[in-house]
């Protein structure tokens, strides 16, 4: 169980972007979180992946409350989450080859011995050819790079997947391909998914359950939902 309880988070304590949000993802469940740009859903995703410390509230993973975020979280806690971000260009270290990017979590957790087996296997899963694996990020397209980023998120076999606008920069075919990879992995591993995005059609097709950002923020949600967002200045 991944439980987000009354979370308040942001980058300025006086003006948090996430106010009092609660959300629960069951093991094996896929939850789509729909919200307009800039509403704070990406911040919530980072809190859920233990990458951003909330100002208030609690994250409970499998019954255990989380006390540390980022490096302060125990390593096996952190690696229970696979994270994919919106912009592959910013999510990949520009100096590493795609193969190194995928292998990095294995090396960081002292499992370098698994690299020769796991990296080609995952490259096949996400549809990256051997010639692409040797390239660096600036030599491949956004779609190819995002495939590598998804492979990196899966390489440690996480129990939870957090996909933050994973497909926003991608064309329809690559989107369908990456979603298929995620679903295949979840079917095999029973991992839970929190997919954050703004594309209702996509999330409703992808996830078992879709929740709206404004439902989560409840009474305190000042924006009143997507209809009122920047449109209404």
Partner 1 sequence: MADTEATTGPGTAADPVTRWRPVAGRSLAGARKASRSTRAWRVGSSAAIVTAVVLAVLIVPPLVALDEQAVHLADKLLPPSAAHPFGTDDVGRDLLVRCVYGLRVSLLVGVVAAVVATVIGTAVGALAASAGGWVDRVVMRLVDVFSSVPHLLLGIFIVAMFRPGVWPVVISVALTHWLSTARIVRAEVLSLRSRPYVDAAISGGASRWRVTVRHLLPGVLPQAGLAAVLMVPHAIWHESALSFLGLGLPTHQASLGTLVQGARSSLLAGDWWPTLFPGLFIIVPTLAIAGLAGAWRDRINPRRRSELML
Partner 2 sequence: MTGPVPPAGAPAPALSVRGLSVRFRMHGGTHVAAVTDARFDLAAGECLALVGESGCGKSVLASALLGLLPENAETAGAALLGDGTDLLTADERTLARTVRGRRVGLVPQSPAAHLTPVRTVRSQLEETLRELAGVRRPDLRKAAAAAAERASFPLGHLDRYPHELSGGLAQRAATALALIGDAPLLLADEPTTGLDRELVDRTVDELRRHVGDDRALLLITHDLAAAERIADRVAVMYASRVVEIAAADDFFGDAGPRHPYARGLLNALPEREFTPIPGMPPELSALPGGCAFAARCDRADAACGTVPALTGGVPLSTGAGGASTGAVPVSAGAGVACHHPVTAALEAPRA
- What is the closest distance, in whole angstroms, from the C-beta atom of residue 230 to partner 2 in the complex? 4
- What is the closest distance, in whole angstroms, from the C-beta atom of residue 75 to partner 2 in the complex? 32
d(CA 62, CA 139): 41
Q: Which two structure tokens, joined as six digits, stand for 149?
A: 């980023």
- What is the closest distance, in whole angstroms, from the C-beta atom of residue 225 to partner 1 in the complex? 27
Nearer to partner 2, 69 or 206 (CB): 206
d(CA 222, CA 116): 51
DSSP 15: S
Query: Contact with partner 2 (CB under 8 A): which of 172, 188, 219, 222?
Result: 172
Query: Contact with partner 1 (CB under 8 A): which of 138, 173, 230, 231?
Result: 138
Query: Contact with partner 1 (CB under 8 A): which of 87, 125, 189, 226?
Result: 87
Nearer to partner 1, 93 or 171 (CB): 93
Query: Contact with partner 1 (CB under 8 A): which of 20, 28, 51, 53?
Result: 51
Q: Residue 11: is it exposed, middle or buried by C-beta count within 10 angstroms (0-12/13-18/19+)?
A: exposed
> Site residues for partner 2, window 124-143 (CB under 8 A)?
127, 129, 141-143
User: Please, which residues bridge with residue 44 across strands?
Assistant: none
Number of C-beta neighbours around residue 118 at 10 A: 20
Say whether residue 105 binds partner 1 (CB under 8 A): yes
d(CA 137, CA 144): 9
Question: If we measure between CA atoms, which residue out of 61, 54, 32 comes closest to residue 166?
Answer: 32
Nearer to partner 1, 152 or 214 (CB): 152
Say whether residue 168 binds partner 2 (CB under 8 A): yes
Say whether residue 92 binds partner 1 (CB under 8 A): yes
Say whether residue 71 binds partner 1 (CB under 8 A): yes
DSSP 170: S
Nearer to partner 2, 90 or 188 (CB): 90
Q: How far apart are the first and last CA of the chain?
A: 39
Question: If we measure between CA atoms, which residue out of 95, 91, 97, 34 comes closest to residue 229?
Answer: 34
List of residues contacting partner 2 (CB under 8 A): 36-38, 86, 127, 129, 141-144, 168-177, 179-180, 198-202, 204-206, 226-227, 229-231, 233
């Amino acid at each position: 169980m991944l439980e987000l309880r009354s979370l308040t988070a942001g980058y300025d304590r006086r003006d948090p972007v996430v106010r009092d949000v609660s959300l629960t993802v069951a093991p094996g469940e896929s939850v789509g979180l729909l919200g307009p740009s800039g509403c704070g859903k990406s911040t919530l995703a980072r809190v859920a992946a233990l990458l951003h410390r909330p100002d208030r509230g609690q994250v409970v993973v499998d019954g255990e409350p989380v006390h540390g975020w980022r490096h302060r979280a125990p390593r096996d806690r952190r690696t229970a989450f696979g994270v994919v971000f919106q912009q592959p260009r910013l999510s990949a270290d520009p100096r590493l080859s795609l193969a190194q990017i995928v292998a990095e979590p294995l090396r960081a957790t002292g499992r370098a011995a698994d690299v020769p087996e796991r990296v080609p296997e995952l490259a096949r899963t996400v549809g990256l050819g051997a010639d692409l694996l040797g390239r660096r990020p600036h030599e491949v397209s956004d779609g190819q790079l995002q495939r590598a980023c998804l492979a990196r998120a899966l390489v440690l076999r996480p129990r939870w997947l957090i996909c933050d606008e994973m497909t926003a920069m991608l064309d329809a075919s690559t989107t369908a391909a990456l979603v298929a990879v995620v679903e295949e992995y979840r079917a095999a591993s029973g991992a839970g998914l929190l997919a954050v995005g703004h594309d209702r059609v996509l999330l409703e097709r992808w996830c078992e359950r879709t929740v709206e950002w404004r439902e989560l923020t409840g009474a305190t949600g000042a924006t009143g939902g997507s209809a009122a967002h920047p449109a209404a200045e």
